């Protein structure tokens, strides 16, 4: 790591270097800022408040990143395609299909760690990360959005919430579009609670297709500094009426569909 000229953090709580010192686009590891340290909630919170996140693989030290540009999703720019709108309409109208928050966090993060992803060999959600974010979840800063179908966890996502900022971490699907439904619910929740930005960390074609885009790190950190100082959301729960934020009709009693909403 010394050859890359990045800071080494000791376990005693060293401060992070300024994000402007992260390695540039022409380096071997664009966005890499520091290595070492620990994953205690206090350090993790300091990292996120400065636009920094951990990302590393088994056998590596903890690596801390602040890429430039940064992939983000403005809830107001979420792309609700015709096919996804139809899927959501069927889901909302079907008994037994619900989005819940924080009822199965451990299941969600472990599913995210285990789900194979195109072009990736293994996972960055190593056991140490699972333990750390599960602990942070119990302290109230990490949340899961879960897509349930007839009592089965079909998909979901998890992320970090500080003030009025949401930092998306990972999502998974065990059934078609289940993670998209969870993301759509997160977007509706953010619109409802005036959360103006969702961090997506790094660019993927999948996120871009849903409306995410890259912005300069300077713009991102400026927003993070302001948003994390605001009053946090008091109630982390998903109410069906929030679907109206996406122009969908909330479920009405007595409405039933016979087909599977995720086929």
118 and 153 in a common domain: yes
pLDDT at 12: 65
In a domain? residue 157? yes
pLDDT at 257: 41
Q: What is the pTM of this model?
A: 0.93
98 and 49 in a common domain: no
What CATH number did the domain enclosing 196 receive?
A: 3.40.630.70
- The closest of 174, 56, 58, 156 to 106, measured between CA atoms, is 156
pLDDT at 121: 45
For residues 32 and 4, the answer to whether their CB atoms sit within 8 Å is yes
pLDDT at 108: 98
In a domain? residue 252? no
**Which residue segment(s) compose the domain that 187 sits in?**
71-246
Backbone phi, psi, residue 15, to 5°:
-75, 155
89 and 53 in a common domain: no
Q: pLDDT digit of tens for each residue in the chain (263 aa)?
A: 435 689 999 866 679 999 999 999 999 999 999 999 999 999 999 999 999 999 999 999 999 999 999 999 999 999 999 999 999 999 999 999 999 999 999 999 999 999 765 544 446 899 999 999 999 999 999 999 999 999 999 999 999 999 999 999 999 999 999 999 999 999 999 999 999 999 999 999 999 999 999 999 999 999 999 999 999 999 999 999 999 999 999 877 544 443 456 65
235 and 114 in a common domain: yes
User: Residue 89 gets which letter from DSSP?
Assistant: H
pLDDT at 114: 92
pLDDT at 165: 98
pLDDT at 263: 59
CA triple 148-122-169, angle to 5 deg: 50
HSE-CB for 68 with a 13 A CA cutoff:
16
Alpha helices in the chain (DSSP H): 41-49, 82-93, 105-114, 127-139, 178-192, 205-209, 217-227
DSSP letter for each residue of 10-32:
-TTTPPPPPGGGS--TTSSSTTE
Helix (H, G, I), strand (E, B) or coil at 99: strand
pLDDT at 4: 67
HSE-CB for 16 with a 13 A CA cutoff:
28
187 and 105 in a common domain: yes
In a domain? residue 109? yes
């Amino acid at each position: 790591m010394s050859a890359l000229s990045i800071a080494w953090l000791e376990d005693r709580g060293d401060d992070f270097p300024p994000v402007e010192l992260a390695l540039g686009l022409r380096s071997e590891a664009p966005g890499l800022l520091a290595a070492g340290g620990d994953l205690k909630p206090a350090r993790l919170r300091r990292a996120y408040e400065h636009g920094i996140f951990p990302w590393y693989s088994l056998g590596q030290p903890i690596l801390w990143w602040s890429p430039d540009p940064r992939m983000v999703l403005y809830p107001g720019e979420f792309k609700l395609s015709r096919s996804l709108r139809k899927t959501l309409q069927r889901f909302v109208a079907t008994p037994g299909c619900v989005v819940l928050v924080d009822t199965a966090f451990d299941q969600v993060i472990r599913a995210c760690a285990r789900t194979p992803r195109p072009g990736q060999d293994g996972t960055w959600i190593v056991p140490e990360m699972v333990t750390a974010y599960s602990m942070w979840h119990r302290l109230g800063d990490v949340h899961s959005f879960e897509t349930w179908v007839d009592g089965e966890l079909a998909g979901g996502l998890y992320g970090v919430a500080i003030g009025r900022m949401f930092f998306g971490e990972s999502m998974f699907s065990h059934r078609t579009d289940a993670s998209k439904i969870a993301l759509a619910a997160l977007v509706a929740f953010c619109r409802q609670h005036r959360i103006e930005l969702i961090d997506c960390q790094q660019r993927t074609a999948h996120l871009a297709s849903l409306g995410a885009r890259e912005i300069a790190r300077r713009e991102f950190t400026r927003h993070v500094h302001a948003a994390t100082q605001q009053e946090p959301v008091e109630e982390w729960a998903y109410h069906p009426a929030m679907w109206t934020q996406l122009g969908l009709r909330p479920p009405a009693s007595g409405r039933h569909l016979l087909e599977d909403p995720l086929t």
